[in-house]
Structure 1
C-alpha cells in the first residue's frame, strides 16, 4: 500500500504543478516576471523561444505517461487487488440530467474547476490586453472595435486550452486513463464536453474576426497567408472543417446517420493540419502531449488492425444476437467489461464497431468472445451473412483492435452485487459473472465472493436465449454449486410463456483454421506497458533531439542573419518531426517484438469444439426438454421469468440488505438515469452506483 501511495502522490504532485502553470499562464506575473527569467535560462539556439513551453507544458505530462506505464506494469505483475472498502461519497451520482447524463460529485467538481480556469484565463487575458489597447489600434479604428477584436482573439486562446485536454480521453491504449481508473468508453463523455466547449469558443473566435474585418473594411485579410505571422487562410479552412465535424457529432445526427458522423469525424486530420498552421509553434507546444500520445496510440492501433484475426466459431441466437469467438494468445489478458473493435471488410472496409467482451481471460485462456445484437444496418448484414452460411468451413475475414478496458476492475470488493440490464446491456455482466465463476471454481480469493442479483429486462421471449451466453462452450466442466446467483428476467411485451416453437433454436457454426488468420495477440507483447513506456520516452527524446538539430542548423542561421524564417515552415517542421519520430520509435519496438509474438502465435493449438446439445434458455422459452448439463441445471434453477411486467427498480434496490452493495447498470439511457436517481437518494446510502455505458 505504501508503494502504491508513493507513486500516486508523485503523479498528483506533477499534475498539480502542470495545472498550476496553466493557471499562471494568462497572468501579468507570468508574462512580465517569470517569462523573461525562464527564457534567459531555458531558451537557446537549439529550441529558441519554445524551450519554456516544452519544459513547462509538454514534459510533465510525458513524464506521467512514461512512469505511469512502469507503475501499471508493476501493479499487473504483482496482481494487486484493493481491499474491500466503501466507495467515497463523492463518487455517488450528484447530477442526472440531459445532456450531461450521470455525473458524480468528483466529475462535477473537476468540471466546475475547469470552467473556472477558462473564466480566469479569459479575464486575465482581457485585463492585460485592454490595458494596452491603444498599442494595437490602426488609424481610423475605434476603441470599442479593437476591444471587440481583442475579445475574439482571446476566445481562441481559451479554445486552445480545451484542446490541451481534448485527446486524452480518446487515446484508448494510453497509460493516463488507467491511472485515473477510467477507460476510453467511460471517459468519452469528457471528450464530447471538451469538443463542444472548444468548438463554441472557436466559432465565436472566427465569427468575431469576420465581423471585425467587415466593420473595418478588411475582409481581404481572410485570404492572407503571412510569412511572419499566423495564416488567416489556414484558420478559415480549419473553421469550415470544424463546422462539418461539429454539426454531424450531435447525438441526434449520430444516432440516425452513424455513417455520416463516422466519416465526417475523420476530417480531424485535415482540421489539425490547418489548425496547427494557424496557431503556430507556440500554441502547439502547449497542447503537444495530448496530440503526441494520441498519435502513438493511433499508429499502434493501425498496425494491429492490419492483421486478420482467427474466428473460431459463432453462435446465432433467434433474437438476432450473435456470439463471435476468436482464438487468442494466452498472454493476452483483459479485464471484465472490456470492449473489442471489429471490422468486417465484406460488409464495410472502413467502419469499426465496438462490442462488449463476454468471455473471461482467466476462465477461457485460449479464446475471446464478443456479443453482437443486430439492431443497426451493419450488424443486421453481419447476422444475415453468418446465418445464410451453411458449411462449417466458411471463413469470415475479420480484423480487430483491442481489447480495451480498465487496468483492473475490482467489482468483487462489494459484499453483494446488483446487475441491472436492458436488452443487450446484459453483455458486460456476462464477463463479470464468468469471472466470479472462475473465482468460485478455483478459490482464487480469500474473501467470500459476492451474492449476485441479475435483473434483466427483455422485449420478447426469444431474447431470453441470450442467457445461454452466461456459460462458455466449456460450461459442462464447471461447478456452479457455490455460485450465489439469482436471475430475475422480465419479458415486457409478452404476457405468458409461449408454446413450444421448433424454430427457436440456437445455431452454432465452427470455422476451420486459415493460414491467413492469426490468434489475437497483444500488439506490444506480454510486457506491453514497458514497451509502451519505451515507445513514448524514445519517440519524445528523439523529437527533442531532431528539433534541436533542425532549429540550430536550419532555423537559427537564417534568423541570426536578420532574415525571417517563414512562420508556417516552422510548424511544418514540428508536425513532420513529431510524426517521423513516433513512426521510427514505434516501428523499432514493434519489429523487436514481432518475432517473439509470431513464434508464440504459431504454438497455439487448434482446439476442437463440440456444439452444445442442451440449452437452458430453451427451457425458459417453453421448450420441454431435459437438461443433462449440471451448470445448465444450476442456471435454470436460479432463474425466474416474469411475463408482461417491468422490473420495479426502486423496490428491488431499496430492499437490498448489507452495508456495501454494488449497483451496476447497463442499458437504455432512461434505465441508467432511473437507477442513478435511486442510488443518489438519501435512503440508499448502502448502494454504490456505477454505470456501464457504451453509447458512442
Structure 2
C-alpha cells in the first residue's frame, strides 16, 4: 500500500516486453515522427509563403508555382489553390493518419525529468489587457502576426510607390488610395486563410496539436478583429477615392463580369461589419442572442466574398473555409438526432443537473464539453456546458451541471419543476439535441503528478469529472499520474456546497486516501457563517434506465470521436471536391467558355458544398450505420443504471445528497476570498521542487488572479520551489 502512494500509476514496467511488441512500438513511433516532420515542413513552407507573399520574393515564388502548373485544366485558380489552400488540406490528411496510428493511447512511455521545467504554453506572460491571459507561446504567435502586418504594410507601400511613375498623368492621391485599398484587401485575405481554422470544433488540425475548441475560439476572436479591421480599411480607402472622383454610387453598385465585382463586396463587408460590431465584448456580454444570431451572417459574408473577388483570388482562403464547412456539416448531421434525458434535477443553489443518454462507443474525456439545444425552449439557441461526469462513471450516460443565470436556463429549470410537480410525469418530456463532446485530444489533467484545481461557482463542474476520473483510474489500476490534488473552490453562498455531493468518492474508490491525496479548500465569499437552511432538490425521472433507448442516445457523429471515420470523412470529401471541380471544368467551364469571375466564384462555393454533402454525406451514412450496429450489440446491457427516487412531494432532500459528508480533508472558510500567493507558497513548501498543473475554470477575473500569482511565483522561485503551469478550462464566447 505504501508503494502505491509513492509511485504514480503510469504504464507498468513489470516484466520484459516481447521482441515483436518492441518492433511494433518502434515502427509505430517511427511512422508518427515521420508524419510529424513532414507536416512541420509543409506548415513552415506554407506560412513562409504567406509571410513572404507581399514582397517581391513571395510574388516570384507564386509565379514559379503558376509556371510549373501552367497548361493544366485548372489554370491560374489551380496554381493559387496549390500554393495557399492545398498545404493545409494535405496536413489534414496527414493528421488523420497520425491520429489513426496513435489510436486510443493517450499515455506514452517516456523518461520523466527529475527536475521541473518551464513550458511556453503554460507560462502566463500577459494577464491583464485586451487579450486576457496570454501564455508565452501565444505571445510569440501574436508578435509574429504583428510583424507580418507591419512587414506587409511596408512591402506593399514600397511596391505602390514604385508604380507611381506609371500613373504620372493621373491624380496621384486617388491612385495611392486605390492601391492602398487593394493591398489592405489582400492582407485581409491572407489573414482570413487562418480565420476559420480555430472554430472548426472537431477539426483534425486542432486535435493534432491538442488545442480544444474553447481555447481556439479566442484565436478566432483575435483574427476576426484583425481581419475585419483590414477589410474595413480596404473598403474605406476605395470609398474615399471614389468620392473624390465623384463616382461613389456608380462604383458601389457596379457588378462586373470580368474583374472585381463591387456590389457583392459591399454586401459581404456589411455582413462582416454586423458580425464584428455585435461580437464586441460589451454587446456580446449583455446581448448574447443578438451576437449569436448575427454571427450566422458568416454565410452571406463568405458567399458574397467569393462573388466579389472571383474564383482564383478566393482560392487563397478556400482551404480553411472548406475545413470549417466539413465540421459544420458533421455538426448538422449530429444535431438532427434527439437525445434522451435520463434524469433531471433542480438543486436549491440554482443549478440544474441533466443526465443524457449516450452510446457506449462515444469517445470523450473528463475535460470535455457539449453544446446543448432543448427544442421545447428554443429551436435556434445552442449553449455550451462542461461535462461533469467521467467517461468511466458509466458507459451509457453523460452528465452536465447548468447554472441558472439567464432566460434560457431559467426556462429549463421551470420546465423541470413543472414536470416534477405533475402527477403524470411522462405527459411532458424534454427533447435535447447535442453537438459534441469536444475537448482535448489527450486528458492533460492526468499528465501532472500534482494538481491544483481552481474553480469559481459552477466552474467546479469539470473538476468533479476530473476527480471521478482519477478515482476510477486509481481503483482500476489504469494509467494516471496525479498523486496530490488540491481543489480551491470559491462560491458566493453555502447553498452551492451540495454540488460536491454529486460525487461519492468513497463509493468510487474505497480507501482512496491511501493512494491519492485529495484536499478541498472552499471559500464562501458572501456569508460569515454556515447557513441553517436545508433546501430541496426537485427531480424528474424521465427514464429510469441507464441503458439508452433505441435511437435516443447521442450520435456517434462527432469530429473528436472515432479516428478512422473522422479521417475518412475528411479525405473522401476533399477528394470529392477535386473530382467535382475537374468534372465541372471539363464538361462545363471549358466547353462553354465560362469566364465571368463572380460566377466562377459561385461555382467554386457550390462544388465545396456539393462535395461535402455527396461524398462526405456517404461516409456519414456509413458511419451512422456502424454506430447503430455497434450500439445494438449493447442495447440490452444495463451496467450503469440512473435512478431518481423522489419522495411523495416529488423532491429529494438535501440531506440525502449530503450523505457523503465533507471530511477532515475539507476546509471551509467564510467571508473571505482565496489568497493565491499564500496557497502557492504553502503548496510549494509542502510538495517541493515539482511540476504543478493548475487548471482554472471560472470568470475572467479569477483567471487573471491565478495567472498573475503563477507568473510572480515562477519568476522569483528558488531551486527548491515548485513550478506552476497555468491551464484554463473556461469557455467564454
| Residue 211 of structure 2 corresponds to residue 177 of structure 1 | no
| Residue 407 of structure 2 corresponds to residue 377 of structure 1 | yes
Change (3 A) 1:66 1:99: same
| Residue 74 of structure 2 corresponds to residue 47 of structure 1 | yes
Taking the aligned partners of 1:400 and 1:278, their CA distance within structure 2 comes to: 36
Report the more deviating stretch, 197-206 or 6-15. 6-15
For residues 579-658 of structure 1, the aligned pairs below 5 Å read 579-602=609-632, 603-605=634-636, 608-611=641-644, 632-633=660-661, 635-657=662-684, 658=688
Deviations 1:16-42 (A, max 9, x none): 0111111232222343x4445433331
The residue aligned with 1:127 is: 158
The residue aligned with 1:452 is: 485
Report the more deviating stretch, 417-426 or 299-308. 417-426
| Residue 238 of structure 2 corresponds to residue 213 of structure 1 | no
| Residue 202 of structure 2 corresponds to residue 165 of structure 1 | no
For residues 549-568 of structure 1, the aligned pairs below 5 Å read 549-559=583-593, 565-568=595-598
Aligned pair count? Answer: 675
For residues 233-252 of structure 1, the aligned pairs below 5 Å read 233-252=263-282
5+ residue gaps, structure 1, are 615-619
The residue aligned with 1:280 is: 310
Taking the aligned partners of 2:429 and 2:103, their CA distance within structure 1 comes to: 36
The residue aligned with 1:26 is: 54
Answer whether contact 1:221 1:232 (CA < 8 A) is retained: yes
The residue aligned with 1:232 is: 262
Report the more deviating stretch, 636-645 or 198-207. 636-645
Taking the aligned partners of 2:727 and 2:484, their CA distance within structure 1 comes to: 17
| Residue 517 of structure 2 corresponds to residue 480 of structure 1 | no
Instruction: Find 1:72's aligned residue among 82, 99, 104.
Output: 99
Instruction: Find 2:369's aligned residue among 339, 347, 351.
Output: 339
The residue aligned with 1:532 is: 566
Report the more deviating stretch, 157-166 or 86-95. 86-95
Deviations 1:65-99 (A, max 9, x none): 12112212222334434655555442300111221
Question: SS where residue 538 of structure 1 aligns?
Answer: helix
Taking the aligned partners of 1:575 and 1:419, their CA distance within structure 2 comes to: 45
Report the more deviating stretch, 281-290 or 2-11. 2-11
| Residue 415 (structure 1) shift | 2.6
Answer whether contact 1:169 1:187 (CA < 8 A) is retained: yes
Deviations 1:229-262 (A, max 9, x none): 1110011111211111111101111111111111
Answer whether contact 1:422 1:456 (CA < 8 A) is retained: yes
| Residue 542 (structure 1) shift | 2.0
Taking the aligned partners of 1:122 and 1:673, their CA distance within structure 2 comes to: 34
Answer whether contact 1:67 1:533 (CA < 8 A) is retained: no
Answer whether contact 1:81 1:410 (CA < 8 A) is retained: no
Taking the aligned partners of 1:397 and 1:209, their CA distance within structure 2 comes to: 51
| Residue 416 (structure 1) shift | 1.4
| Residue 429 of structure 2 corresponds to residue 395 of structure 1 | yes
| Residue 493 (structure 1) shift | 1.0
Answer whether contact 2:569 2:620 (CA < 8 A) is retained: no
| Residue 459 of structure 2 corresponds to residue 462 of structure 1 | no
Instruction: Find 2:295's aligned residue among 240, 250, 265.
Output: 265
The residue aligned with 2:38 is: 10
Taking the aligned partners of 2:569 and 2:50, their CA distance within structure 1 comes to: 27
Question: SS where residue 266 of structure 1 aligns?
Answer: helix
Deviations 1:378-398 (A, max 9, x none): 111111111221254342111
The residue aligned with 2:145 is: 114
Instruction: Find 1:291's aligned residue among 310, 313, 321.
Output: 321
Change (3 A) 1:545 1:44: farther
Answer whether contact 1:412 1:450 (CA < 8 A) is retained: no
Change (3 A) 1:9 1:436: same
Answer whether contact 1:45 1:551 (CA < 8 A) is retained: no
Deviations 1:462-482 (A, max 9, x none): 11111122349x947755343
Change (3 A) 1:36 1:599: closer
The residue aligned with 1:431 is: 465
Change (3 A) 1:341 1:312: same
Answer whether contact 1:126 1:151 (CA < 8 A) is retained: yes
Change (3 A) 1:87 1:531: farther
The residue aligned with 2:217 is: 188
Deviations 1:40-80 (A, max 9, x none): 33133410112221222222111111211221222233443
The residue aligned with 2:26 is: none
Answer whether contact 1:524 1:590 (CA < 8 A) is retained: no
Taking the aligned partners of 1:75 and 1:298, their CA distance within structure 2 comes to: 25
Taking the aligned partners of 2:350 and 2:412, their CA distance within structure 1 comes to: 10
Deviations 1:509-542 (A, max 9, x none): 3213796851113216997222222222222222
Taking the aligned partners of 2:351 and 2:155, their CA distance within structure 1 comes to: 56
- The root-mean-square deviation of aligned C-alpha atoms, in Å, is 2.6
| Residue 599 (structure 1) shift | 2.9
The residue aligned with 2:443 is: 409
The residue aligned with 2:65 is: 38
Taking the aligned partners of 2:280 and 2:286, their CA distance within structure 1 comes to: 10
The residue aligned with 1:617 is: none
Instruction: Find 1:492's aligned residue among 525, 530, 538.
Output: 525
| Residue 712 of structure 2 corresponds to residue 683 of structure 1 | no
Report the more deviating stretch, 175-184 or 111-120. 111-120
Change (3 A) 1:690 1:45: closer
| Residue 428 (structure 1) shift | 1.5
Question: SS where residue 506 of structure 1 aligns?
Answer: strand
Taking the aligned partners of 2:182 and 2:368, their CA distance within structure 1 comes to: 43
Answer whether contact 2:203 2:559 (CA < 8 A) is retained: no
Question: SS where residue 656 of structure 1 aligns?
Answer: helix
Answer whether contact 1:338 1:357 (CA < 8 A) is retained: yes
Answer whether contact 1:439 1:449 (CA < 8 A) is retained: no
- Give the TM-score, by structure 2 length: 0.87
| Residue 703 of structure 2 corresponds to residue 672 of structure 1 | yes
Taking the aligned partners of 1:127 and 1:350, their CA distance within structure 2 comes to: 49
Change (3 A) 1:527 1:465: closer
Question: SS where residue 367 of structure 2 aligns?
Answer: coil
Change (3 A) 1:181 1:596: closer
Question: SS where residue 394 of structure 2 aligns?
Answer: coil
Taking the aligned partners of 1:505 and 1:688, their CA distance within structure 2 comes to: 39
Answer whether contact 2:437 2:560 (CA < 8 A) is retained: no
Taking the aligned partners of 2:63 and 2:678, their CA distance within structure 1 comes to: 65
- Give the TM-score, by structure 1 length: 0.92
Instruction: Find 1:202's aligned residue among 214, 220, 231.
Output: 231
